[in-house]
Structure 1
Amino acid sequence: MTRGPATPLPSPKARRRLREAASLTQTQLAERVGVAPGTVRAWESGRTTPRGRKREAYAKLLKTLAEEEESAARQAARTPQPAPPPKTEPTGDRASAPEACAEAEAEPEPELEPVAMPMPMPMRESAPEAQPRSTREPVPEPRPAPAPLTPAQAFDALYEFSAPALVRQTFLLTGRREQARESVERAFQTAWERWPEVARDRDPVGWVRATAYEYALSPWQRFRPRHRHPEPPPADPGDRTLLNTLLRLPPRHRRTLVLYDGVGLDLPETAAETEASTPAAAHRLLRAREAVAGRLPALADPQVLHRRLAELASNERLGAARPPTVRRGGERRARFRTRAAIAFTVALIGTTALTVRTAPTHYEPPVSPGQAVRGVPPRVAPGSLSDEELELRQKLRDQMQDGPERLSPQLE
């Protein structure tokens, strides 16, 4: 049985644009799909991708929003736009004109004979340039706008701000210092490769954190040679016991506990980052707390557990590489992948061309294999003839084999 192709979805940026065009909040969209608001936030940021029935419902809703947007655009194109009102240039002080009109209406006019007189020109106020220099107020000079950060500078700022904390958090998941450092560096290298998407994300730190956790908890890590050599445990006995307790938890429960009690995320945000529903995340959190409290009863209080996790992560001296080193490492890996893909493509094309060149152009029937023939008497070596054989040979030589040469009729 084979699965059908997944329902196509627009890009994360297009998903957010369709929702905002329909004047829907993330909470309203989540209610219509049947998921948590944090899950919708993760879908629109590109950190996670919907699957199964949720993907079909989400794709159907986005298609409906796109159709509504197209119909609204067509209707707006058909409706004629009203002409703008004519612009009138001001001929005086706008603020004093209504007051002058009100005063003119309030005062009674004297009775005079109608005389045709030219209308006086309205007096304009003097421009600020006509005032003397001594009475002018000093005009403050505009401050120069700060120069925008380059992508490399923005990446370096994000790395220096969040990398040390992410290394400590990843150490709580793996219990290995070098693996935690490598996981965070790989996550930032992936973020640098997809920097336009990460820079527009509402939570870039969450995007990198999710990528680092996925790499650190990958089941392929156990097959690496470095995984076979254990690292020295923490020096403090209490830290060593807490770390062993965390490592005995299932990976999903351990990740949920670190995100909620260690990092301090909300339950919907924890569920969205672990790609689970809110009830499932709550169940994993409770099971993880019970397991920790079973071995360490003093950590049954969530506040005490949060403080102990922070202390365990802070007691380890975990450093991170410099941002330029991480960026150059990601660029080297991207170049290596590109060259490997090009080499593989060239090898594939060469193999295909060689196969086409050496392939037969016509059909040649295969030669059937030989078979043994049975029933034939074996050959006898020649020898001297017996008397009977000599007599038979002489008789055959004397008689004509084909009969007489010519038949002649005879009378009886």
Structure 2
Amino acid sequence: MTQSHAIPLPPPEERRRLREAGALTQAQVAARVGVTRETVCAWESGRTTPRGRRREAYVRLLDSLAEKAEKAEKAVLQDPSAEPAVTGHQGAADGAVPAAGPGGEDPEPSHEPPPERPLTPAQAFDALYAFCAPALVRQTYLLTGRRELARESVERAFQLAWQRWPEVARDRDPASWVRAAAYDCALSPWHRFRPRYRHPEPPPSEASDRALMAVLLTLPPPQRRALLLFDGVGLGLPETAAETEASTPATANRLLHARAAVAAHLPALSDPAELHDRLAELASTERLRAAKPTDVRDGSERRARFWTRAAIAFTVALIGTTALTLRTAPTRYEPPVPPGATVLGVPPRVAPGPLSEAEVKLRAKLRSEAHNGPQRLAPQPG
């Protein structure tokens, strides 16, 4: 591993220039090196750096492309007539005359191609979805072990991206924005309360795949996410820390613990390069398909309309409740009823039962005064 990392690599801009000079696409380079197209894109943008055997294969490919480019340049210098044809506007600028066509006829005049029209928001979204969604569904499956939840999380992430498309379109890495949203949705703890996700899904058919998936699901979600981003997707340690919203030392610690746990259960995967290959194989064995981009955009718009109408209905209900309260509330101050005062001389009420001697005397006194009260003064004529 130390020797492979010591192999020098050209700068990211030179990597892309050599690939374009060799007339290769990112998919073709990925097929030759044995990685995904997203990994090659990350290598050419400088976000990640290849490691291990992938680095050696990538360096050999770049060296072969550089040799071919040098041979082509030498051939052009030795035989100027072998210079490749130029476009119409380049030939006019250099004063070159296009060669005659077959049979000596003059070729048709080449016109400058019209300027490319900028993509509409829907077209740009569909391009991002077609580029990221298939691989993101497989990555989310490794993160959760549930196929339906993986598709649902990716669809929800792209719905959020479409709702916030002005922000996502200006982001320096829209794919990373959508991936972080999908991972957050997939690892939400609220899924455990949903009836459809209370029971586990059928495991993979291969025994090795089942063992690796079982080990991944035993890891804590932060460690599982860091392992998938670093060893599965191929991000660097700073990019993994930024996407998981953690510090670089904390992310490195999570990655080391996750690798140690995987190596303890599966010693054959102690090499990070082997672990990367096995993660890619496990993700590719599941035939997971993402929804169509038009369905995702339509679902996002329906969801936005629903919540907008719900917010409007709640606001109207709140305004109506406030108006009703103002209409029925009193307009003047009404003092509260004062509490009752104790009347002296009246015995408290007691429970049924025999009377005491004092109560018997009091009852006799009250009865006697009711019939034989004091004499009343009556007016007499004068």
Task: Tell me the TM-score range normalised by the shorter chain.
Answer: 0.5 to 0.7
How far residue 147 of structure 1 moved from its aligned partner, in angstroms, is: 2.7
Deviations 1:23-51 (A, max 9, x none): xxxxxxxxxxxxxxxxxxxxxxxxxxxxx
- What pairs with 1:269-280 in structure 2 (closer than 5 Å)? 269-280=239-250
Counterpart in 2 of 1:263? 233
Q: Map of 1:91-102 to 2, 5 A cutoff?
A: none
TM-superposed CA distance for 1:171, in Å, is: 0.6
Counterpart of 1:181, as a letter, is R
User: Helix, strand or coil: the match of 1:145?
Assistant: coil
Q: TM-score, normalised by structure 2?
A: 0.63
Partner Cα distance (2:188, 2:157) in 1: 13
Match of 2:266 among 267, 275, 296: 296
> After the TM superposition, which of the residue ranges 280-289 and 372-381 deviates more from structure 2?
372-381
1:363 maps to: 333
The RMSD of aligned alpha carbons is 2.8
Match among 170, 176, 184 for residue 214 of structure 1: 184
Counterpart Cα distance in 2 of 1:175 and 1:370: 70
> After superposition, where does 1:170-181 map in structure 2 within 5 Å?
170-181=140-151
Q: 1:383 to 1:246 in 2, by over 3 A?
A: closer
Whether 1:164 aligns to 2:134 is yes
1:380 has 2:378 as partner: no
CA distance in 1, matches of 2:370, 2:244: 100
Q: Deviation at 1:374?
A: 4.7
In the alignment, the residues of structure 2 paired with residue 138 and residue 251 of structure 1 have an alpha-carbon distance, to the nearest angstrom, of 63
- Change beyond 3 A, Cα 1:303–1:383: closer
Where does 1:25-64 land on structure 2 (aligned, <5 Å)? none
- What amino acid does structure 2 have at the position aligned with 1:344? F
SS for the counterpart of 1:290 is helix
**1:167 to partner: Cα distance:** 0.3
Sequence identity of aligned pairs in percent?
69
Question: Aligned letter for 1:306?
Answer: H
Q: Of 193, 197, 205, which residue of structure 1 is paired with 2:163? A: 193
Against the structure 1 CA distance between its residues 384 and 264, is the aligned structure 2 distance closer, same or farther, given a 3 Å change threshold? closer
Which structure is larger by alpha-carbon Rg, 1 or 2?
Answer: 1
Q: Does 1:149 align with 2:119?
A: yes
Instruction: Name the structure where helix makes up a greater proportion of residues.
Output: 2
Shift of residue 202 of structure 1? 2.1
1:250 counterpart (211, 220, 225): 220
Q: Whole-Å Cα distance in 2 between the matches of residues 208 and 263 of structure 1?
A: 14
**Separation of aligned partners in 2, 1:139 and 1:186:** 51
Once the two structures are superposed, what CA deviation does each residue of 1:43-82 show, in whole Å capped at 9, x if it has no partner?
A: xxxxxxxxxxxxxxxxxxxxxxxxxxxxxxxxxxxxxxxx
* Residue 109 (structure 1) aligns with: none
Separation in 2 of the partners of 1:214 and 1:364? 56
Shift of 1:148: 2.3
Q: Distance in 2 between matches of 1:283 and 1:163?
A: 29
Distance between the aligned counterparts of 2:320 and 2:147, measured in 1?
45
Amino acid at match of 1:333: R
Q: In structure 1, give the amino acid aligned to 2:152.
A: E
Task: Name 1:239's counterpart in structure 2.
Answer: 209
Q: Which of 288, 295, 300 lines up with 1:330 in the alignment?
A: 300
Aligned residues: 260
Deviation at 1:238, TM superposition (A): 1.3
Structure 2 Cα separation of the partners of residues 244 and 203 of structure 1? 32
Structure 1: 5+ residue stretches without partners: 1-135, 406-412
Relative to structure 1, the CA distance from residue 217 to residue 383 in structure 2 (aligned partners, 3 Å threshold; closer, same or farther) is closer
Query: How far apart, CA to CA, are the structure 1 residues paired with 2:368 and 2:229?
Result: 99
Structure 1 position 228 matched with structure 2 position 215: no
For 1:245 and 1:220, the matched residues in 2 are separated by: 23
Q: Distance in 2 between matches of 1:317 and 1:356?
A: 61
Distance 1:280 1:260 in 2: 14
Letter in 1 for 2:367: V
TM-score normalised per structure 1: 0.58
User: Cα–Cα, structure 1 residues 317 and 138, in superposed 2: closer, same or farther, change >3 Å?
Assistant: closer
CA distance, structure 2, for counterparts of residue 197 and residue 369 of structure 1:
64
Q: Distance in 2 between matches of 1:143 and 1:177?
A: 46
Question: Which whole-Å deviations, capped at 9, do the CAs of 1:347-406 have from their partners, x for residues lacking one?
Answer: 111111111111111121222354563524665389998xxx9xx97xx99xx999xx8x
Secondary structure of 1:380 counterpart: helix
Partner of 2:92: none
